[in-house]
């Protein structure tokens, strides 16, 4: 590990989907809600079409996230918590990736600041963050109207790509840390710039494009 400046905390950033868990949390939630009959068929169809376009490189990851968060429109935070009761235990916890959790535990044991940095939304991440003892959680926030209902839009940028890098830099600044000593674990080539910004990048079960970059730049690769 790189040696941090005196009294400066070392930060370990962890992506969530396909890194801390072996699946996509928003996709899991949609399938869960389908089984519970708590999502409209038209929303399932719309998301399915956009997902197909994404797989064929016609739309961005940002568009996928924005399509998914529309399912919360008109619901309150309490409504969402009620309709997803049991989701974490049934869908998230069984999909933890042991090797990545072991790495997180090592960082914790060394006094590092552990952070979930994800494009996913708060209610899908909070139970895991609490369970794992994560220090900070940075994600895509949901906009709430004056009546306390979700609008179906993100509150600010989707936490992807350049936004992840900006958020990581902002947290490091607040904590008086330096990204040159930080660690980052993620699976997707969309996070290449973010990985390049830290001193200790780790590609976890990487996409082919990220694997190629990791091999070329001698980044650590974790296949698990």
Name which of 114, 153, 155 is nearest 137 in CA terms: 114
Task: Give me the pLDDT at residue 5, please.
Answer: 56
What are the pLDDT digits (tens) for 87-104? 999 999 999 999 999 999
How far apart, in whole angstroms, are the C-alpha atoms of residue 43 and residue 48?
8
What are the pLDDT digits (tens) for 105-158? 999 999 999 999 999 999 999 999 999 999 999 999 999 999 999 999 999 999
Asked if pLDDT for residue 174 goes beyond 90, the answer is yes
DSSP 8-state symbol, 96: B
Task: Give me the pLDDT at residue 68, please.
Answer: 95
What are the pLDDT digits (tens) for 211-223? 999 999 999 999 9
Q: Which domains does the chain have, with CATH numbers?
A: 11-222 (3.40.50.1000)
Task: Give me the pLDDT at residue 1, please.
Answer: 45
Task: Give me the pLDDT at residue 80, please.
Answer: 94
What are the pLDDT digits (tens) for 51-84? 999 989 899 999 999 999 999 999 999 999 998 8
Q: How wide is the angle at C-alpha 157 spanned by C-alphas 165 and 85, nearest 5°? A: 100
Task: Give the confidence band of 3 by pLDDT, cuts at 50, 70, 90.
Answer: low
Name which of 75, 89, 78 is nearest 28 in CA terms: 89
How far apart, in whole angstroms, are the C-alpha atoms of residue 106 and residue 112?
9
Residues across the chain: 224
How far apart, in whole angstroms, are the C-alpha atoms of residue 175 and residue 8?
8
């Amino acid at each position: 590990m790189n040696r941090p400046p005196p009294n400066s905390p070392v930060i370990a950033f962890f992506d969530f989907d396909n890194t801390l868990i072996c699946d996509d949390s928003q996709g899991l939630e949609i399938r869960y809600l389908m089984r519970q009959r708590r999502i409209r068929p038209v929303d399932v169809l719309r998301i399915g079409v956009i997902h197909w376009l994404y797989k064929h490189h016609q739309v961005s990851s940002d568009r996928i996230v924005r399509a998914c968060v529309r399912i919360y429109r008109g619901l309150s935070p309490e409504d969402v918590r009620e309709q997803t009761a049991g989701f974490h235990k049934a869908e998230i916890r069984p999909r933890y990736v042991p090797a990545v959790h072991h790495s997180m535990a090592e960082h914790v044991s060394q006094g590092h600041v552990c952070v979930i940095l994800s494009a996913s939304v708060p209610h899908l991440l909070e139970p895991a963050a609490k369970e794992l003892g994560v220090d900070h959680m940075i994600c895509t926030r949901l906009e709430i109207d004056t009546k306390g209902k979700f609008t179906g839009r993100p509150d600010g940028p989707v936490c992807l790509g350049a936004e992840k890098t900006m958020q990581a830099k902002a947290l490091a600044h607040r904590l008086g840390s330096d990204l040159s000593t930080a660690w980052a674990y993620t699976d997707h080539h969309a996070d290449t710039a973010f990985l390049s910004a830290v001193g200790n990048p780790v590609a976890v079960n990487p996409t082919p494009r990220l694997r190629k970059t990791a091999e070329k730049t001698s980044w650590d690769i974790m296949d698990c």
